[in-house]
Amino acid sequence: MLRPRRVDYPRRDREHQEEYAAEVSPVSMPVRDTTPRVASETKESEEEYSGSKAIGYTGLAMGIASLFLWSIILGPISVVIGYYAYAKEQKTLGAWAIGLGIVSTLSYFVMIPFAR
C-alpha cells in the first residue's frame, strides 16, 4: 500500500535536506583572554583566588559546625558565605557550604518539636 505524500510537512521529503544547526545552536560563550599578563595583574588574581578559597573553607567550616551547634544561626550564615564563595569561582566549596547550611537549618525546624 502506497502512502500518500504529506503536504503539510515538506521537510520530511527526500528533496528537502537543509541543515538547521546554525539557527538552533545556542549563543557562543565568550572566549577567555589568552594575552600575556603583567606580573602585578597575575599576583592580584592569585591573591583574589586565595582569598575566595579561604572564604569557601570558612563557609564549609560553618556549615559543618552548624550541624552540631547553633544551627539556626550558623546555617544561614553558611549559606550566605557559601553563595559568596560560589560567586567568586569556588564552585565546589560554595556548593557544599550552601548545602550544609540548608540541611542544618531545615533539620533544626524538623528536630525542634522533639527537643521541647
Q: How many domains does the chain have?
A: 1
Q: 88-98: b or e for each residue (b if 16 or more CB lie within 10 Å)? A: bebeebbbbbb
DSSP at 69: S
pTM > 0.85: yes or no: no
How far is 35 from 17, CA to CA, in rounded Å? 42
What is the model's pLDDT at position 54? Answer: 85
For 7, phi and psi rounded to 5 degrees? -90, -30
What is the model's pLDDT at position 103? Answer: 92
Residue 2 domain flag: no
Q: In this model, does residue 11 exceed pLDDT 80?
A: no
Residue 68 domain flag: yes
What is the model's pLDDT at position 4? Answer: 66
- Could you tell me where the beta strands, DSSP code E, fall in the chain? none
Residue 46 domain flag: yes
Containing domain of residue 94, as a range?
39-115
Work out the angle between the directed axes of helices 91-115 and 39-66 (0-180°, nearest 10): 20
pLDDT digits (tens, 9 = 90+) for 57-109: 888 899 999 988 888 899 999 999 999 888 888 888 889 999 999 999 998 88
What is the model's pLDDT at position 89? Answer: 81
19 or 103: whose pLDDT is higher?
A: 103
Q: In this model, does residue 25 exceed pLDDT 60?
A: no
15 or 87: whose pLDDT is higher?
A: 87
Residue 19 domain flag: no
Could you tell me what percentage of the chain is helix, strand and coil, using 3-state DSSP and rounding each to the nearest 5? 65, 0, 35
Q: Are the CB atoms for 54 and 94 separated by under 8 Å?
A: no
